[in-house]
Amino acid sequence: MKIIKNNKIDESVYIETLENGMKIIVVPKKNTKKKYVIWATKFGSIDNNFIEPKTGKEIKVPDGVAHYLEHKMFENENGIDSLYKMMALGLDANAYTTNDHTAFLFAGTDNFYEGLDELMNYVQSPYFTDQNVEKERGIIGQEIGRYDDEPDWKLYVNTMDCLYTNNPIKLDIAGTVESISKITKEILYSCYNTFYHPSNMVMCISGDFEPEKIIEEVKKRIKTKEKNEEIKRIYPKEQKGINKKQKEANMGINMPMFMIGYKDELEQCDDVVKKDLAIQIILNSLLGKTSKIYQELYNDGLLQTSLDISYEYSKTYAHVLIAGESTDPKKVYEKIEQTLKKENVSEEDFERSKKKIYGDIVTEYNDVEEIGRMYLSDAIKDINSMDYIDKIDEIDIEYVNEILNKLFKENESVLSIVR
């Protein structure tokens, strides 16, 4: 077992990789009543083309399979839905699918080991039939329709379409009504057998646990002991630069919404954690609530709330997103563009933003659910979350402004608007 201690924040993380390749991460929190576990497979909406490890055959599956598979995992041969069974235990259980992973989780104060039994049983015991796969089609079709009616989702999807030409991040996570009509139980089993092997999975646990004991409890419940061959994913080659400059949509909303995107070339980066922190400092310094441009836009009535700013990245994509609501999205876009292309981060803003971001990271350790989600998300990218605490001290203002000049001043931006 690998133990990483950080004396600055008085936190420790325990990491063990089992013989079958599965990684278990435990962050103990003494004297907390709530317990949290999240178990994920590195299988998301972008993984629709791969080589099947056992046969060596190339497989191309319909869009939306990862999400469809997530829905079907709760169904058991005895007809009992595991989600309802866990809720009956008083546990807050859920699941979700993203671009690069699918996760199953629960939180609670009591009946933890009963919940762990159920979680590790249903995730390792798929039950697909022609009938139950067909039954789910209408349910997911309705979910796709609801997403299509969500202005936030439309804004995001259109931004991805502007930023990327071929990257499958452009695809809707749930697929389309047409694509899910092609999903069969055979396709679900093929994807399950490929991606739901322990060697492609990560489990994060946080709460008042003895790390060695909880890891032994997990080991008892693992059914597959052998390691699998490496999964070969096939992704289309993405072109340099953006796909299109702007995209607009009209929906039933009171205030226009906008999202500005900057595409990042991630393969040029040697240290993604350090770069992520630098981008957070840049965005907070130049566009945060205390920034000059935000105050100007707010005073002019162009912004009513703070900007939603983020840096999203994985092994196959990376981009900065800046979103908000405005009576004149194009004017806001022009002013933000000018700021990011002409301004540098000052020493004063650098120090202030660095302290704020450090405080935000430390605050996440106060809640077991935040800890679990943070460590899981980073583990999917092969990052240890503790690195963020250590590396923030390595960042200086010269590095921050170097990233600012490369990412925001050399790359073309895109604009998505929902009116």
Residues marked as catalytic: 70
Cα–Cα distance for residue pair 224/196, rounded to 1 Å:
10
Count, residues in the chain: 419
Phi then psi for residue 49, to 5 deg, are -145, 120
- What is the C-alpha separation between 306 and 271, in angstroms, rounded? 29
Q: Are 380 and 372 in contact (CB under 8 A)?
A: no
Q: H or E segment at 59?
A: strand 58-60
Nearest-angstrom CA–CA distance, 94 and 104: 6
Give the SS3 label for residue 118.
helix
- What's 394's DSSP letter? G
* Closest to 359 (Cα-Cα) out of 388, 381, 396, 398: 388
User: What DSSP line would sit under 42-63, residue for residue?
Assistant: S--TT--EEE-TTT--EEE--T
- Residue 251's closest CA among 155, 183, 125, 346? 155
In terms of DSSP bridges, do strands 246-249 and 308-313 run parallel, antiparallel, or are they unpaired?
unpaired
Q: Which two tokens stand for residue 294?
A: 């935000």
CA 134 to chain centre: 29
Q: Rounded distance, CA 413 to CA 330, Å?
A: 13
Beta bridge partners of 111: none
Six-digit token string for 194: 């490929």
| Residue 368 to residue 106: CA distance in whole angstroms | 11
Bridge partners of residue 28, in order along the sequence? 207
